[in-house]
Amino acid sequence: GKVMFDNRDLLKANKQSLRHIRGNSISMIFQDPMTSLNPYLTIGTQLTESLTTHKGMNKQSARMKVIESLDEVGIATPEKRINSYPHELSGGMRQRVMIAMALLTEPEILIADEPTTALDVTIQAQILRLIKQLQHDHNVGLIFISHDLGVIAGIANDVLVMEKGDIVESGKVEDIFYQTSHPYTQKLLASIPNTSKPESYHYVKDPGSGFLLQLQDLKTYFHESRSFLQSRSDVIKAVNDVSLEIYPGETLGLVGESGSGKSTIGRSIINLVDINDGKILFNGQDISSTDRSRNNRSRHEIQMIFQDPYSSLNPRMTVFDTLAEVISLRNRQNKEKIIIEVVKLMQDVGLNANQIRKYPHEFSGGQRQRIAIARALALRPRLIIADEPVSALDVTIQAQILDLLLNLIKKYRLTMIFISHDLSVVRYICDRVAVMQNGKIVETGETETLFLKPKHEYTRALLSAIPIPDPEKERQRQMDTVII
């Protein structure tokens, strides 16, 4: 094949030519800036190096250009931030630095590979607006790679749909969304969770039941050292005086930006982090007390599904070993009974029983998440905490996992806390939603009521930032959005 750029076949270019093209004519923004930026160098050093290497500028001129570029991408006080290290910046700020770096050499083509996937919805909206504005200002061609069709609807003019390495459909963005002809594209569009929870899965409260879980004035603080030279540390109030109740059989959504404290609540409940104050009552029992033996019995009834199953599953253990180990914690059984239970769990999560001798790396991302769900079910819990369980999956696999969770909640009569920054997903699976900001809950309500009639300003801001998988509606939403 050929890759033609400026009448040259890049596949036949030598390394020196490719290096010149990559640095000057074609730039790239990656999904995770933390893995792209050098943690040992300040952002100023890394950005000026790009200019001195590819543009031959002296350090003083390059530094001024970098400050100007950081200011252009919306980083406040760039003359100070130029001396910051990557870990000292938020995720959104790091992505702005990556955008500044990509545009420093004034490329003709900018490739953005899932640049907002790891960001929460409000930061995502800011980054998308920034990319569109800079594309216009710098007159640069943009190749935007994403599995989020709502994002594509708002940023693309033309779309290529790929399946298993092949382009199966291409055309104007309006044609792809409104007049699609390929079954795979139709499947992608049909997988978008843009509706409320299916009627058959709606939670019906038992008037006689009490709370399964109560959080009373919960506080979880962290201490962050300023530097190795300073003995003082900053206190981060990750969860700050939170009270919350959950009924048996209910699915409660916890939403908010990164750093809002939603994941810390989940980790506090299962004792992965120590709380500073308050109570956690499970079925009326205080599991935040220091009686470990009593708490362990209760904590078997609370399990967690993590975002990345690849890092939460032991790579040296087969699926059978992983599930059998957990089952044996609940009930010492003979091997035959354990095999029967492992096979049943595999079937319940939609996997073939003949895969139980495989290792995690032999499965796809969606299959690994099904294994993680099976492991959570192995102890027969009453409460499951799902922390961003579908955020790393593409839209079709995401839809499958959401439907699986709905079925399992109904079959096992589970109660669930569903933590996510994706409000469309939350609307599809949750009965009630709690919105968190800066460690506090600012609003709670029935899902549809909260989505249609939000009361708090922050909730309204979150909802207004959700990309709409419809080109005309998404463009109108962007026009209606006031950029502050």
Specify whether the backbone of 175 is left (phi greater than 0), alpha (psi in -120 to 50) or beta. Answer: alpha
Helices 43-54, 59-72: inter-axial angle, 10-degree rounding: 120
Q: What is the pLDDT of residues 86-137, one digit of tens each?
A: 888 877 889 999 999 999 989 999 999 999 887 888 888 888 999 999 999 9
- The answer, yes or no, to whether residue 370 has pLDDT greater than 60, is yes
Residue 107: its pLDDT value, please? 92
Model pLDDT, residue 480: 67
**Residue whose pair of structure tokens reads 């995401």 in the numeric block:** 398
Chain centroid offset of residue 5 CA: 34
In percent, the amount of the chain with pLDDT more than 70 equals 94
The pLDDT assigned to 232 comes to 57
Helices H / strands E in the chain, number of each: 21, 17
Q: What is the dihedral of CA 316, 320, 326, 330, to 10 degrees?
A: -160
Find the mean pLDDT for residues 41-66.
91
Provide the pLDDT for residue 197.
75
Confidence of residue 187 (pLDDT cuts 50, 70, 90): very high
CA distances 447 to 144, 250, 397, 442, Å, are 32, 12, 23, 15
| pLDDT, position 26 | 93
Given a cut of 60, whether residue 153 has pLDDT beyond it is: yes
DSSP string, 33-44: HHHHS-TTS-HH
- Kindly write down the DSSP assignment for every residue of 397-457, as one continuous string: HHHHHHHHHHHHHHHHT-EEEEEES-HHHHHHH-SEEEEEETTEEEEEEEHHHHHHS--SH
Strand-pair category, 213-225 with 109-113:
unpaired
Q: What are phi and psi of 450, to 5 degrees?
A: -65, -40
The phi and psi torsions of 169 (rounded to 5 degrees) equal: -160, 145
Q: How large is the average pLDDT for residues 189-205?
A: 76
Exposed/middle/buried for 463, CB within 10 Å: 0-12, 13-18, 19+? middle
**Exposure class string for 365-380: b at 16+ Cβ within 10 A, else e:** ebbbbbbbbbbbbbbe
Q: Per-residue pLDDT tens for 157-176?
A: 999 999 999 999 999 999 99
**4-145: what CATH class?**
alpha beta
Query: CB of 448 within 8 A of CB of 418?
Result: no
pLDDT for 194: 67
Please give the single-letter amino acid code of residue 393: L
Which tens digits make up the pLDDT trace of 274-326? 999 999 999 999 998 755 555 566 778 999 999 888 888 999 999 999 999 99
For tokens 């801001």, the residue is 461
Collapsing DSSP to helix, strand or coil, 471 comes out as helix
- The larger pLDDT score, comparing residue 228 to residue 385, is at 385
Domain 248-273+287-480 has CATH 3.40.50.300: yes
- At residue 478 the predicted structure's pLDDT band, cuts being 50, 70 and 90, is confident
Q: Domain spans of the chain?
A: 4-145, 248-273+287-480
Run of H or E including 138? helix 121-138
* Predicted pLDDT at 310: 81
Q: What is the DSSP string of 255-285?
A: E-STTSSHHHHHHHHTTSS--SEEEEEETTE
- pLDDT confidence of 209, banded at 50, 70, 90? confident
Higher pLDDT, 30 or 236: 30
349, pLDDT greater than 80: yes
The Cα 352–Cα 334 span in angstroms is 22
Most confident region among 164-168, 192-196, 297-301, 389-393 by mean pLDDT: 164-168
CA 363 – CA 355 distance, rounded (Å): 9
Q: Tell me the pLDDT band of 412, cut-offs 50, 70 and 90.
A: very high
Residue 296: per-residue pLDDT = 64
- Residue that the structure tokens 């004034």 belong to: 106
Q: Residue 406's pLDDT band (boundaries 50, 70, 90)?
A: very high
Tokens of 462: 């979150």
Least confident of 33-42, 198-207, 264-273, 378-387: 198-207
Same CATH fold assignment for domains 4-145 and 248-273+287-480 = yes
Residue 315 contacts residue 259 (beta carbons within 8 Å): no
pLDDT of residue 362: 95
